[in-house]
Amino acid sequence: MKRQALAALLVAALSGSALIGGLAVARAGAHQTQPAALAPPAQHVAQTMAAPREQLSLLAMSQDPNQWVMPSLNYANTRHSSLDQITTQNVSGLKAAWTMSTGATRGHEGQPLVVGNTMYLESAYPNHVYAVDLSDYHIIWQYTPKQDAFAVSVACCDLVNRGVAYGDGKIIAAALDGQIIALDAATGRVVWNFKNDDPERGQTTTAAPLVVGNRVIVGVSGGEFGVRGYLTGLDLATGHKIWRAYSMGPDSDVLIGSQFTGPHGQGTATWQGDQWKVGGGTTWGWYSYDPNLDLLYYGTGNPGTWNPSQRPGDNKWSMTIFARKPETGQAVWAYQMTPHDKWDYDGINEMILVDLKKGDQTIPGLVHFDRNGFGYELDRRTGKLLLAQKFDPSVNWADSIDMASGRPVLNASKATRAGVNVSNICPAAMGNKDQQPASYDPQTGYFIIPTNHNCMDYKAFAVKYKSGFPFVGAIVKMYPGPGGNRGAVIAWDPSDGHIVWTDKERFPAWGGVLTTDGGVAFYGTMDGWFKAIDTKTGNQLWKFKMPSGVIANPITYMHDGKQYVALMSGVGGWAGIGLAAGLAEPTAGLGAVNAAQDLSRYTNLGGDLVVFSL
């Protein structure tokens, strides 16, 4: 079958019960690099540097608050800056300092990097990458990859991108069609290009890579197409694949060996027959790393299909937090949050690494706010569960998490099954929080969390697998949760898992949060407001209307003695897929369209970077 014809069939198959980024078009033109004869970034790490030294260099750079050198600022994913020039007392004087268009108009879910005197950013598809001189804001270079346009047809949840990574003098960019591209940070020249996935099998890439030592860590998307998820470790110098760890299958595929402290053989034993081969568990979220333990942390997504009646068993290792050795990919421990998922509660949200006070002990902790509506605290050394509490009181699919077994105590009336329309399940499939990252504020001790507040009706049905075609098997309809608001930003106290304050939002709070030592938290909203609030109280201190709705993540940096806050606008993502892709059927967009039919009254598509200062 010709590719364009297959794309047309995918459009028909996805409308109404799944979603589509758009029709396949003719192949994009050749990649475009626009260099200028300019000096390289001020802090340029030598490409010949040995791996351990480079790791230390990145660690040191991430501790310099003047820069923002990793997607989440640091390996711990705190998104908290020690900069304090902008405070609760003066933030009301914040003004737009400079702006630029990204040249793309789909969902922007990422954030810029600041390395020395240069800002680097990547747009939504077609994934323009820019290097911008912070002295006068001119574009040093631009790179646009030549892509397999078929990826547009199989991209779940909009044509988003979550940003670039930096390491060893290279910018690492991920393209929608699965290319992982290393660009010389000074010139934009392609150093290497690795093909991480195949769109014709339903595989795409949307996550931001992470550089750990001499490894580039990259994930894959495509759980709604029966993709068997995997995480890949590439060589930073050459782009060669060093290891690949699948989310399910034989232990040899999952890279479970003698170091693993959990049960063995579960990647096949918890599936019926060969269903693990189309088992989902994709890895499109955020990654964190503890350099003292030398452990990499990430989560896996939903099992395929969405019809749980077709895949009896716990379906390991979908919906799982993994700890691995980044050099080899070998698993050390794993914790599955939602065994035998019946609601599409992907476990890919960020793992925030902080020290937790438990009684008279201080424990190296991992804190994770899952799609399923529970906030989890684990000992990041062992995976031992320390606490699990709801971070939205509307959660009704489970009553609690059993602390002895770690399994949810299910509400049988909200369990989905084939042929039955189960109504009023909270949260909806997009969860009480999706990929939009939270921030840990050490001054208050609170996690400031952007949340969703939708519920859903869910009817599962039988579906057959065919490579490259939707493998969903459910019709979903989402709508506002109790109280009518569809989102909120909350403060969560990790000492006992209680909500300290709540700022309700009209739409899901689909953008990330930044906190600072100035006592200010920043976040953007889908209806286009960029807000500053007091971390202690949640009181609003300032707001600014952005060119488009916000689903991206703010950063802050210093330049010439002045603190700046930067954010991209460009509405879309799963929560805004109706507006982004022009979908109107209430159950389209995997059920998300119904929950945001009024979004066009408040914002429109766009793609811009806006930078603020006092």
Catalytic residues: 344
Q: What Cα–Cα distance (Å) separates residue 70 from each residue in 56, 114, 495, 535?
A: 14, 9, 28, 23
- Indicate the SS3 state at residue 99: strand
Give the position of tokens 């290393």. Answer: 182
b (16+ CB within 10 A) / e for 53-84:
ebbebbeebbeebbbbbbbbbbbbbbbbbebe
Determine the 3-state secondary structure of 368 from DSSP: strand
Alpha carbon distance 465, 584 (integer Å): 27
Nearest C-alpha neighbor of 161 from the set 218, 224, 212, 229: 218
Task: Output the six-digit token pair for 541.
Answer: 């201190």
Using an 8 Å Cβ cutoff, are 71 and 161 in contact? no
Helical (H) or strand (E) element with 170: strand 170-174
Record the tokens describing residue 258, joined without a space: 């003698």
The whole-angstrom separation of Cα 580 and Cα 588 is 12
Sign of CA dihedral 254, 256, 261, 264: positive
Kindly provide the residue ranges of all beta strands, DSSP E only, lying in 325-360, ordered along the sequence: 331-336, 352-358
- What Rg do the C-alpha atoms of the chain give, in angstroms? 22
Q: Determine the Cα–Cα distance for residues 439 and 457; give it in Å rounded to an integer.
A: 31
Q: Which residues of 384-405 are buried (b: 16+ CB within 10 A; e: fewer)?
A: ebbbbbbbbebbbbbeebeeee
Which run of H or of E encompasses 290? strand 288-290
